[in-house]
């Protein structure tokens, strides 16, 4: 049976088939029509703010990459333009475009310009994070982490990775809900 819901403020409207709408969003996404896919996800999230598949697809739509650099973007309705920034590096590299195709090209141009500027200045470009960092904990917290990891039969590294991923997932859900 499909997942359906009434529009919350308009009970006279017919049932809203979330499964059908999600398939439509996926179709748009796979066809490269990211703005349309994102609009359908927003419509689903208006009715079901915690709909995990729509939240996940919205996050994927808002990301693109080039030469291992990831760009995050948002659409500014008032200015009718997409604004983006490379994430995962310390330097600030931005890009913008009026369509998804323009945005993709602007991302490539900005990354290429950034790499060229670094070469001209004999500077090493920031690379996306390696996945390794040093973490200093109090002895008490270190002990609690070690105990929890042992109880769940996981390495401390795997346990910490899961804890951080879960925290960030919750944080991202909160941010997405606030932007809707």
Q: Would you identify the CATH topology of the domain 65-141?
A: Double Stranded RNA Binding Domain (3.30.160)
**DSSP designation for 126:** P
**Distance, CA of 34 to CA of 58 (rounded, Å):** 9
**How far apart, in whole angstroms, are the C-alpha atoms of residue 161 and residue 180?**
28
* Integer Cα distance of 111 and 119 in angstroms: 12
pLDDT attached to residue 154: 86
pLDDT at 106: 95
Q: Write out pLDDT tens, residues 63-114.
A: 788 888 888 888 787 898 888 899 888 899 999 998 878 888 999 999 999 9
pLDDT of residue 178: 66
Average pLDDT over residues 117-127: 93
pTM of the shown model? 0.51
**How much is the average pLDDT of 149-175?**
83
- Give the DSSP per-residue string, 61-101: HTEEEETTEEEEEEEETTTTEEEEEEESSSS--EEEESSHH
User: Is the confidence at residue 141, as pLDDT, over 70?
Assistant: yes
d(CA 67, CA 45): 32
How far apart CA 44 and CA 16 sit, in angstroms, is: 9
Q: pLDDT, tens digit, for every residue of 22-47?
A: 899 888 877 767 778 888 998 898 88
Query: Where does the chain hold its CATH 3.30.160 domain(s)?
Result: 65-141
H/E stretch holding 56: helix 52-61
């Amino acid at each position: 049976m499909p997942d359906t819901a009434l529009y919350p403020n308009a009970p006279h409207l017919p049932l809203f088939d979330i499964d059908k709408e999600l398939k439509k969003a996926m179709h748009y996404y796979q066809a490269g029509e990211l703005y349309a896919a994102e609009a359908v996800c927003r419509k689903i999230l208006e009715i079901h703010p915690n709909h995990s598949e729509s939240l996940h697809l919205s996050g994927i739509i808002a990301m693109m990459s080039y030469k291992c650099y990831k760009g995050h973007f948002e659409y500014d309705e008032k200015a009718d333009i997409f604004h983006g920034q490379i994430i995962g590096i310390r330097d600030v590299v931005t890009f913008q475009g009026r369509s998804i195709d323009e945005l993709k090209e602007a991302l490539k141009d900005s990354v290429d310009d950034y790499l060229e500027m670094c070469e001209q200045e004999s500077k090493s470009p920031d690379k996306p994070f390696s996945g390794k960092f040093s973490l200093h904990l109090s002895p008490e917290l270190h002990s609690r982490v070690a105990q929890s990891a042992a109880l769940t039969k996981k390495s401390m590294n795997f346990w910490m990775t899961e804890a951080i991923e879960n925290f960030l997932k919750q944080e991202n859900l909160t941010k997405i809900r606030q932007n809707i």
